[in-house]
Amino acid sequence: MAYLVLVRHGESTWNKVNAWTGLTDISLDEEGRDVAKKDGELLKDISFDIAFTSALRRAQQSLEEIKGVVGEISTTEAAALNERDYGDLTGKNKLEVEEMYGEDQYLKWRRGWDEPVPNGETLKDVYGRAVPYYQENILPELKTGKNVLVVAHGNSLRALIKFLENIPDEEIPNLEIETGGIYIYQIDPEGKIISKEIKKD
């Protein structure tokens, strides 16, 4: 049995102003760093063997704050775990977009499974890169009994959770992970989920 722990990065400077961040390489704000440290406190009873994070600094900074509490962990960075590319919506205020295009379109863009944004990715696109990466690089570690920490983004983690929990396409809009949110899975040697726990600071 092994632990797979998924953590969404803490609040970034663009989260603070409710802007779509996507692939823009924004840093954590001070509150985001504090949340990541608290996440570390919630996870210090797990001995991690390896960590994975995205190629974006807000996830990397969150992982560094966690490691400051739990101790050093061998780490791999991968663009496959990056946030969704929000294309032409990147940098725009979410409330302003909702007012301009209406609640229905806004929700489709924000939470939909296969709803394209202009010049950007769908959640299905993110799934198409994050899940194969998980299967090829993370799952083999879990099958050998290693405890794995993944610190990434709302949409790359939603894609992984969709795969892990076999969530139907029509239900995935209901899944939202708060900044600093923690999902803890126990995984058997076949890669199947034994248990799940959600922790909040």
Our answer to whether residue 83 is catalytic in this structure is yes
Q: How far apart are CA 164 and CA 67, in angstroms?
A: 25
Q: Which of 65, 83, 121, 141 is catalytic?
A: 83
Candidates 139, 150, 142, 184; CA nearest to 53 is 150
Residue 148, token pair as written in the block? 């794995």
- At 19, is the secondary structure helix, strand, or coil? strand
- Is 146 a known ligand-binding residue? no
Q: Are 122 and 116 in contact (CB under 8 A)?
A: yes
Q: Are 185 and 164 in contact (CB under 8 A)?
A: yes
Candidates 9, 42, 3, 10; CA nearest to 152 is 9
- Is 155 a known ligand-binding residue? yes
- Is 85 a known ligand-binding residue? yes
- Is 129 a known ligand-binding residue? no
- Is 65 a known ligand-binding residue? no
- Is 94 a known ligand-binding residue? yes
- Is 112 a known ligand-binding residue? no
Q: Which of 9, 65, 141, 153 is catalytic?
A: 9
- Is 119 a known ligand-binding residue? no
Our answer to whether residue 9 is catalytic in this structure is yes
Candidates 16, 178, 18, 153; CA nearest to 94 is 18
- Binding residues for substrate are 8-15, 21-22, 58, 83-86, 94, 110-111, 154-155
- Binding residues are 8-15, 21-22, 58, 83-86, 94, 110-111, 154-155
Show which residues are catalytic.
Answer: 9, 83
